Structure 1
Amino acid sequence: MKKIVIIGSGFGGLASAALLAKTGFKVAVYEKNSLPGGRAMYFQEGDYKFDMGPSWYMMPEVFEKYFSQFDRKPSDFYQLSRLNPTYRAFHSDGYHDISADYDKLSHLFDQLQPNSSRNLNKLIKLAELLYKQSMHRFIYKDFTSIWDFMDLKFGFEFITKRLFVSYDKLIKSNIHHPLLQKLLLWHTVFLGGTPKNVPALYVLMIYVDIILGTYYPRGGMFEVVKAFKKLGEEWGVEYNFNSEVDEISIQNGKAVGVVVDGQFHQADIILANADYHHVEKNLIPQDYRSYSDQYWSKRQMSPATYLLFLGLNCKLNKLLHHNYYFSDQWDKHFSCIIDKPSWPPDYSFYISCRSKSDPSVAPEGGENLMILIPVAPGLEDSEQIREKYRKQLIVKLEKLTGTNISDCIEVMKISTHRDQIAQHHAFQGNSFGLANTLWQTGSFRPGNQSNKVENLFFVGTNTIPGIGMPLSVISAQVISDKIKKIYGSEITGN
Structure 2
Amino acid sequence: MKTDVVVIGSGIGGLSCAALLARYGLDVVVCESHTIPGGAAHGFERDGFTFDSGPSLYSGLSYRPSHNPLRHVFDAIGEAPEWHTYDTWGCCLPEGTFDTQVGADQFCEVLGELRGADAIAQWRALQTFMQPYGEAVVALPPAALRFDWGGLQTAAPYAWPMLRHAPRIFDLTGPFSRLMERVVSDRFLRNWLDLLCFLLSGLPASGTSAAEMAFMFADWYRPGVQLDYPVGGSAALVDALVRGLEKHGGTLRLGAHVEEILVTGDRASGVSLRSGETLHAKRAVVSNASIWDTLKLLPDHPATRSLRRQRQDLPPCDSFMHLHLGIDATGLPDDLACHHIVVNDWEMGVTAPQNVVLISIPSRLDRTLAPPGKDMIHVYTPGNEPYDLWQGLDRRSDAYQQLKTERSQVMWQALERVIPDIRDRVEVSLVGTPLTHERFLRRHRGSYGPAIAAGQAIFPGPTTPLDGLLCGGDSTFPGIGLPAVAASGWLTANTLVPVPDQLKLLAAIGLR
* TM-score class normalised by the smaller sequence: 0.7 to 0.9
The alignment status of 1:471 with 2:474, answered yes or no, reads no
Corresponding residue of 1:210? 221
Q: Does 1:267 align with 2:268?
A: no
1:99 matched to 2:75? The reply is: no
Residues 91 and 97, structure 2, Cα contact 8 Å, conserved in 1: yes
Residue 325 (structure 1) aligns with: 342
* Residue in structure 2 matched with residue 81 of structure 1 by the alignment: 84
State the alpha-carbon separation in 2 of the partners of residues 40 and 418 from structure 1: 17
Question: What is the CA distance between 1:469 and its match in structure 2?
Answer: 0.8
Residue 193 in 1 paired to residue 203 in 2?
yes
1:170 to partner: Cα distance: 4.2
Whether contact under 8 Å (1:40, 1:53) holds in the other structure is: yes
Q: Which residue number corresponds to residue 262 of structure 2?
A: 249
Shift of 1:482: 0.8
**Which amino acid is the alignment partner of residue 447 of structure 1?**
G
SS at match of 1:284: coil
Task: Quote how far apart the aligned CAs of 1:436 are.
Answer: 5.0
- CA 1:92–1:192 in 2, change beyond 3 Å: closer, same or farther? closer
- Computed over aligned residues only, the root mean square deviation of the Cα atoms, in angstroms, reads 3.0
The verdict on how the C-alpha distance between 1:231 and 1:259 changes in structure 2, with shifts beyond 3 A counting, is same
In 1: Cα distance, 2:292 partner to 2:460 partner: 10
Partner Cα distance (1:66, 1:392) in 2: 37
**Aligned pair 1:40/2:41, yes or no?**
yes
Measured against aligned partners, the alpha-carbon deviations of 1:258-296 in whole angstroms (never above 9, x if no partner) come to 111212122112111122211123333253144336843
The alignment status of 1:417 with 2:417, answered yes or no, reads no
Q: Is it true that 1:406 corresponds to 2:423 in the alignment?
A: yes
For 1:371, the aligned partner's letter is V
Equivalent in the alignment of 2:505: none
Paired residues of 2:5 and 2:29 also in contact (CA < 8 A): yes
Q: Which residue identity is paired with 1:389?
A: R
1:397 aligns with 2:419: no
| AA at the equivalent of 1:14 | L
Going from structure 1 to structure 2, the CA distance change for 1:18 and 1:163 (only over 3 Å counts) comes to: closer
2:126 aligned with 1:123, yes or no?
A: yes
Q: 1:202 and 1:402 mapped to 2: Cα distance?
A: 33
State how 1:346-361 maps to structure 2 within 5 Å: 347-361=355-369
Matches within 5 A, 1:307-386: 307-315=322-330, 316-317=332-333, 319-328=336-345, 330-334=346-350, 336=352, 344=353, 347-374=355-382, 375-381=384-390, 383=400, 384-386=402-404
Q: Distance in 2 between matches of 1:402 and 1:135?
A: 39
Q: Distance in 2 between matches of 1:138 and 1:402?
A: 41
The 1:136/1:440 distance shift into structure 2, 3 A limit, reads: farther
Asked if structure 2 preserves the Cα contact closer than 8 Å seen for 1:280 and 1:289, the reply is no
2:463 aligned partner: 449
Equivalent-residue separation in structure 2 for 1:233 and 1:88 (angstroms): 39
Which residue of 443, 451, 473 maps to 1:435? 451
For the structure 1 residues 135 and 173, does the alpha-carbon distance in structure 2 shift closer, same or farther, using more than 3 Å as the test? closer
Q: Distance in 1 between matches of 2:59 and 2:242?
A: 20
Task: Map Cα deviations across residues 146-192 of structure 1 (whole Å, 9 max, x no partner).
Answer: x999x876552255xx6676434644664455444443332222312
Measure, in 1, the Cα distance between the counterparts of 2:116 and 2:141: 35
Distance 2:102 2:30 in 1: 39
Contact 1:272/1:458, CA 8 A, preserved across alignment: yes
Instruction: Give, in whole Å, the separation in 2 of the partners of 1:122 and 1:143.
Output: 36
Does the 8 Å CA contact 2:357/2:414 hold for their aligned counterparts? no
Cα deviations by residue, 1:310-346 (Å, 9 ceiling, x for unpaired): 1111354484111011222x3425464xxxxxxx3x6
Deviations 1:286-307 (A, max 9, x none): 531443368433x232331111
1 CA distance for matches of 2:56 and 2:139? 26
Q: Is the 8 A contact 1:448 1:463 kept in 2?
A: yes
1:219 alignment partner AA = G
**Distance 1:49-1:107 versus aligned 2 partners, 3 A rule:** same
The alignment partner of 2:45 has SS state of strand
Query: In the TM superposition, what is the alpha-carbon distance from 1:130 to its structure 2 partner?
Result: 2.3
2:197·2:213 contact (CA, 8 Å) conserved in 1? Answer: no
Identity %: 23
2-structure distance, mates of 1:202, 1:41: 24
For residues 9-29 of structure 1, the C-alpha deviation after alignment (integer angstroms, 9 at most, x for no partner) is 111111122221222211111
- Change in Cα spacing, 1:366 to 1:425, as seen in structure 2 (3 Å) is same
Secondary structure in 2 aligned to 1:401?
Answer: coil
Compute the displacement of 1:242 (Å).
Answer: 0.6
The SS at the match of 2:496 is: helix
* CA distance, structure 2, for counterparts of residue 290 and residue 426 of structure 1: 22
| Deviation for aligned residue 1:404 | 2.1
Q: How far apart in 1 are the matches of 2:10 and 2:164?
A: 37
User: 2:208 is aligned with what amino acid?
Assistant: V
Instruction: Measure the CA separation in 2 of the matches of 1:116 and 1:270.
Output: 51
Q: Residue 156 of structure 1 aligns to which amino acid in structure 2? A: P
Structure 2 residue aligned with 1:227: 240
Once the two structures are superposed, residues 21-51 of structure 1 have per-residue CA deviations (whole angstroms, 9 ceiling, x without a partner) of 2222111111000111111011211121110
Q: State the distance in 2 between where 1:134 and 1:466 align.
A: 14
Distance 2:238 2:498 in 1: 27
- Is 1:291 the counterpart of 2:316? The answer is no
Query: Alpha-carbon deviation of 1:487?
Result: 12
In the TM superposition, what is the alpha-carbon distance from 1:480 to its structure 2 partner?
1.2
Q: Taking structure 1 as reference, are residues 192 and 124 closer, same or farther at Cα in structure 2, changes over 3 Å only? A: same
Residue 280 in structure 1 maps to residue 295 in structure 2: yes
Q: Secondary structure at the match of 1:5?
A: strand
What is the CA-CA distance between 1:393 and the residue it aligns to?
Answer: 2.9
| Distance in 2 (alpha carbons) for counterparts of 1:272 and 1:18 | 14
Structure 1 Cα separation of the partners of residues 488 and 426 of structure 2: 40
Deviation at 1:356, TM superposition (A): 1.4
Conserved 8 A contact 2:84-2:366: no
- Secondary structure of 2:14's counterpart equals helix
